Amino acid sequence: MPFLKVFIKDSQSLVKFEQGLTIREILESADIRIRSGCRGTGACGLCKVRIIDGNLSALTQNEEHFSLETDIRLACQAVPLGDASVEVFYPAPESKWHILNSRYRQMIASSVKDKSCRCAADGYKVAVDLGTTNIMLSVLEMPSARWIGGRRGANPQTEFGLDIISRLTAASASEYSARKQQESAFTAISDALKDIADREILDLSKITNCTIVGNTAMLTLLAGCCSDTLLDPASWGCIAQCVVSNGRKLLVNHSEPEHSIDIDLVQPFAGFVGSDMLAGLYATGITEFSTPGLFIDFGTNTEIALWDGDTAWIASASGGPSFEASGISCGMPADAGAISRVLMPDNGSSALGFEVINNTEPKGICGSGLIDMIACLLKLGVIDSRGRFIAESQNSYSLCAEALKININPRDIDMIQRAKAGIAACVVMLCRRSGVAIGSLKRICVAGVFGRYLDISNAQTIGLLPRLDPAVFELWENAALIGCEMAALDPEYRQRLDSIRKQCTILNMGNDEEYEPVFFENLYLGCIEGMN
Amino acid sequence: MYTMDGLIKALLDGDRNRAVAEAAALVSKGVSPDSIVLNGIDPAMNRLDAKCTIEQFNLLEIMLVGRCLTAVITEIFPNGIASSRDKGTVVIAALEGDVHDIGKNITKMLLASKGYHVIDCGKDCPVEKLAETALNEKADAVFVSGLITSVIPNVRKIKSQLEALGIGSISVVAGGAALKQSTPEHLNVDFVADNAFEGLHYLESKAAVSNN
């Protein structure tokens, strides 16, 4: 793929892109914001860039209208025909909301086209995936179902605890905390919508409703109900009802309270298995086939569903947040500056190669980079299958020779071993309990932000994913959000999700005696153990 | 003459078969089980302890060594390890909602090999049963291990159960994959142990304080 070199003031980035995208779309795919006063239609002329190098598409009519100087183009109109360099004059102010990239946009477009009924009403619909760590949302224009924009940002509830149990505990202990957590989630959703409104030029008062999916704990906190119930193990088999109290609506503009938005919380399944899982199954369509399939949604809580042709067997894996590189010494989320891929040394070299998101200075390593790095160290014989450095004197491995070192130490490796053992053990137990032979899986859908840069072969090398033909694997970045968009667009989504609900069964690993020995065997770095 | 080096190395390598064979060979040479604990298991555990402290040992290795330790102790004490209550009594369990007990068993073996009297309430143990056992056995500490995060709400109940029985001053120590990432405040316990050795150190430090 060609590269776009981007100069903004003193900094520069290198963005890989798929041919056919405009400069603005390429910049957005790397979460680089350029100032704009229209939706990228060429009407405002604010997104001027200077072309330093490279061939571009011919001037559009809109551009001609602005009588630009010879090396100046509009980012929303110009399409690079190969490698190019540009200077951005007016970067937009930084935001804590990241733009969802165009690859994701294409995935949505095709899913929505294939599966959803279109509604006739005008206005906009909002779809939200409320995650423990991240909130993702998108806005769709009606009745065309055109995707207007999407955002990803941190869930501000992390202030009350990184994991769901501490947040639920805080909410059940104090009404104040419960209310604050509820408010902070609502505020975050409105903030993200305002960010889209400012940039994509959206009239917030035209938003008609907001559909929200999430894990049970997040929906419970948002609804402001039953956090006690969820903490009681006796309730885990039961259906949790999450209804927003007092018919509460989402307020995006406090000066116009009449423009509040109806909220539709998509009900969770049961126990801790939320509607994000149902939405993921809906998006991937895995339960529509008679052949077995596996769905893994990587996140702070990784949830896994095994479809046997009749029943979706669901389990939660105690993986912890290490796939999001949280708790890892040099870990960071998969944002600009993160090492997202680590490569085996070139011939004649002994150093591992790596790729950095946006080709900037490396600042840390994200989940996919860690998986690659551990797989490479295993292949090179630097560490053994127990996750231990083979050379007695060695207790860390450094990736960069430059001043800014990215190290991996035994504790980091241990965290990944535990996390991957949890996932692998769940997959093995789901296969055993459902009677599905791993080799018979026809589709394996890997969802979650972590999936975006994941190298399947390296994930197989360390035993995170089963060793099957790469053709059966599909990378879904955010299946839950896509499913939520489909629900927002589909007036009959409740019936569709209800029929998926009827086919789901939860397996609680806490009650399964065989789980722990399988977890133990899978702490080793190597192929998944215990498969039938 | 005999040497414990083979046993120590096998224990540290987590090689169960070799460790059991080494222990059996020592017993057949007339070495007493107590001497094997003192001169073989103890030094091996101290070396492992030192490595854990500098984070050079991972969960897999601790589990391998734990499995190995359990096998060796079963080999040399076929009727169970003898212990006195002099050093202290510990009640240990994996709580209701969690049937996984490898971590608990490793901790039990380590504490027993260090001379503690350990009462095992098993796995999937209700909090009430744990508290009653602590009362009946006049326990000095309660240890719980959890592999699954969903057991956390039960861990948080231990203190209040002990208080209800009038033994709220007993130390509560939590450990295990699901619990070690949490803080004592969050779990409502006195100490969160990163591994079995940290739990042991905590007990020893408490004893040192009360002896002074």
Name all domains of chain B by residue range, CATH numbers in brackets: 5-76 (no CATH), 89-211 (3.40.50.280)
Interface contacts (A, B; CB < 8 Å): 86
Q: Does A163 have pLDDT greater than 80? A: no
Lowest mean pLDDT among A108-122, A178-192, B122-136: A108-122
CB contact under 8 Å between B58 and A386, yes or no, is: yes
Whether A520 and chain B come into contact, CB under 8 Å, resolves to yes
Q: Return the CA Rg of chain B.
A: 17
In contact, B146 and A510? CB cutoff 8 Å:
no
Q: Does A116 have pLDDT greater than 50? A: no
Q: Which residue has the tokens 């960069």?
A: A400
C-alpha span between A51 and A72 (Å, rounded): 6
Our CA-based measurement puts residue A384 at a distance from the nearest CA of chain B, in whole angstroms, of: 12
Q: Does B99 have pLDDT greater than 60? A: yes
More confident residue, B63 or B210: B63
CB contact under 8 Å between B181 and A327, yes or no, is: yes
pLDDT digits (tens, 9 = 90+) for A77-98: 999 999 999 999 888 877 889 8
pLDDT for the residue A490: 85
* pTM value > 0.90: no
Place A308 in a pLDDT band, splitting at 50, 70 and 90: very high
CB contact under 8 Å between B150 and A511, yes or no, is: no
- Give me the interface pTM, i.e. the ipTM: 0.74
Query: What whole-number percentage of chain B has pLDDT above 70?
Result: 96
CB contact under 8 Å between A166 and B96, yes or no, is: no
pLDDT for the residue A451: 79
Taking contacts as CB-CB distances below 8 angstroms, the residues of chain A near B96 are 233
Taking contacts as CB-CB distances below 8 angstroms, the residues of chain B near A511 are 97, 99, 124
Our CA-based measurement puts residue B32 at a distance from the nearest CA of chain A, in whole angstroms, of: 32
Considering only CB atoms, A387 lies closest to which of B58, B147, B152, namely B58
- Give the number of other CB atoms < 10 A from CB of residue B33: 18
Lowest mean pLDDT among A180-184, A305-309, A347-351, B132-136: A347-351
Considering only CB atoms, B147 lies closest to which of A165, A508, A516, namely A516
In contact, B97 and B130? CB cutoff 8 Å:
no
Our CA-based measurement puts residue A288 at a distance from the nearest CA of chain B, in whole angstroms, of: 31
Lowest mean pLDDT among A18-27, A105-114, A294-303, B190-199: A105-114
DSSP, residue by residue, A354-403: EEEGGG----EE-HHHHHHHHHHHHHTTSB-TTS-BSSTT---EE---SS
pLDDT for the residue A117: 47
Taking phi over 0 as left and psi of -120 to 50 as alpha, with beta for the rest, A226 belongs to left
C-alpha span between A3 and A14 (Å, rounded): 6
Q: Does B202 have pLDDT greater than 80? A: yes
Q: Which residue of B has its CA nearest to A392?
A: B56
Taking contacts as CB-CB distances below 8 angstroms, the residues of chain A near B56 are 395, 410
Q: Does A531 have pLDDT greater than 80? A: no
Lowest mean pLDDT among A320-324, A405-409, A511-515: A320-324
Considering only CB atoms, B59 lies closest to which of A409, A418, A516, namely A418
Amino acid at A328: I
Our CA-based measurement puts residue A514 at a distance from the nearest CA of chain B, in whole angstroms, of: 9
Q: Which residue of A has its CA nearest to B186?
A: A166
pLDDT for the residue A162: 74
Q: Which residue of A has its CA nearest to B56?
A: A410
Query: What whole-number percentage of chain A has pLDDT above 70?
Result: 88
CA–CA distances in Å: residue B108 to residues A300, A327, B113, B145, B156: 31, 29, 8, 11, 21
Lowest mean pLDDT among A223-232, A247-256, A296-305, A453-462: A247-256
In contact, A348 and B178? CB cutoff 8 Å:
no
pLDDT for the residue A29: 81
In contact, B171 and B206? CB cutoff 8 Å:
yes
CB contact under 8 Å between A511 and B99, yes or no, is: yes
More confident residue, A479 or A254: A479
- Give the residue from A275, A312, A273 showing the smallest Cα distance to A292: A312
Q: Cis omega (within 30 of 0) on the bond before A257? A: no
B 89-128 near A (Cβ less than 8 A): 96-102, 124
In contact, A407 and A398? CB cutoff 8 Å:
yes
Our CA-based measurement puts residue A388 at a distance from the nearest CA of chain B, in whole angstroms, of: 8
Q: Which residue of A has its CA nearest to B103?
A: A516
Q: Does A55 have pLDDT greater than 50? A: yes
Taking contacts as CB-CB distances below 8 angstroms, the residues of chain A near B156 are 169
More confident residue, B138 or A237: B138
Structure tokens at A432: 């055993």
pLDDT for the residue B81: 74
Whether A386 and chain B come into contact, CB under 8 Å, resolves to yes
Our CA-based measurement puts residue B31 at a distance from the nearest CA of chain A, in whole angstroms, of: 32
- For the residues A262-290, what does the mean pLDDT come to? 90
Q: Which residue of B has its CA nearest to A411?
A: B55
- For the residues A362-368, what does the mean pLDDT come to? 91
Structure tokens at B200: 């042991």
C-alpha span between A434 and A311 (Å, rounded): 8
Whether B152 and chain A come into contact, CB under 8 Å, resolves to yes
C-alpha span between A411 and A417 (Å, rounded): 10
pLDDT for the residue A275: 93
* H or E segment and range at residue B204: helix B196-211
Taking contacts as CB-CB distances below 8 angstroms, the residues of chain A near B153 are 165, 169, 231-233
Considering only CB atoms, B99 lies closest to which of A411, A418, A510, namely A510
CA–CA distances in Å: residue A147 to residues A137, A142, A493: 11, 9, 19
More confident residue, B186 or A7: A7
CB contact under 8 Å between B63 and A395, yes or no, is: no
Q: Which residue of A has its CA nearest to B149?
A: A318
Taking contacts as CB-CB distances below 8 angstroms, the residues of chain A near B58 are 386-388, 410-411, 413-414, 417, 523
C-alpha span between A524 and B51 (Å, rounded): 19
pLDDT digits (tens, 9 = 90+) for B41-76: 888 888 888 877 766 677 788 888 888 988 998 898
Q: Which residue of A has its CA nearest to B61?
A: A386
Amino acid at A249: K
Q: Which residue of B has its CA nearest to A387?
A: B58
CB contact under 8 Å between A169 and B156, yes or no, is: yes
C-alpha span between A474 and A54 (Å, rounded): 34
CB contact under 8 Å between B60 and A387, yes or no, is: yes
Taking contacts as CB-CB distances below 8 angstroms, the residues of chain A near B61 are 386, 388
Query: What whole-number percentage of chain A has pLDDT above 90?
Result: 40
Instruction: Tell me the H-state helices in A58-215.
Output: 61-65, 102-115, 164-173, 175-200
Whether B154 and chain A come into contact, CB under 8 Å, resolves to yes
Determine the residue among A216, A226, A412, A414 to mutate to test chain B binding: the one whose Cβ has the most chain B Cβ atoms within 10 Å: A414
Place A271 in a pLDDT band, splitting at 50, 70 and 90: confident
* Alpha-carbon dihedral sign for residues A504, A508, A512, A516: positive
Lowest mean pLDDT among A423-437, A477-491, B8-22, B198-212: B198-212
In contact, A290 and A308? CB cutoff 8 Å:
no
Q: Does A190 have pLDDT greater than 50? A: yes
Q: Does A340 have pLDDT greater than 70? A: yes
- For the residues A221-231, what does the mean pLDDT come to? 74
Residue A128 dihedral angles phi and psi, to the nearest 5°: -130, 135
Whether A532 and chain B come into contact, CB under 8 Å, resolves to no
CB contact under 8 Å between B149 and A318, yes or no, is: yes
Structure tokens at A153: 């940002």
Q: Which residue has the tokens 């499913």?
A: A483
pLDDT digits (tens, 9 = 90+) for B118-157: 999 998 899 999 999 999 999 999 999 887 777 888 899 9
Lowest mean pLDDT among A14-18, A210-214, B17-21, B168-172: A14-18
C-alpha span between A369 and A422 (Å, rounded): 19
Our CA-based measurement puts residue A335 at a distance from the nearest CA of chain B, in whole angstroms, of: 25
Place B176 in a pLDDT band, splitting at 50, 70 and 90: confident
pLDDT digits (tens, 9 = 90+) for A124-145: 999 999 998 889 999 988 888 8
Residue A389 dihedral angles phi and psi, to the nearest 5°: -65, 135
The helix/strand/coil state of A62 is: helix
pLDDT for the residue A253: 63
- Give the residue from B54, B46, B32, B40 showing the smallest Cα distance to B9: B40
Q: Does A42 have pLDDT greater than 80? A: yes
B 44-63 near A (Cβ less than 8 A): 54-61, 63
C-alpha span between A325 and A185 (Å, rounded): 23
Q: At what angle do helices B59-76 and B5-13 cross, to 10 degrees?
A: 140
pLDDT for the residue A251: 67
pLDDT for the residue B92: 96
pLDDT for the residue A272: 79
pLDDT for the residue A164: 80
Whether A414 and chain B come into contact, CB under 8 Å, resolves to yes
C-alpha span between A446 and A454 (Å, rounded): 9
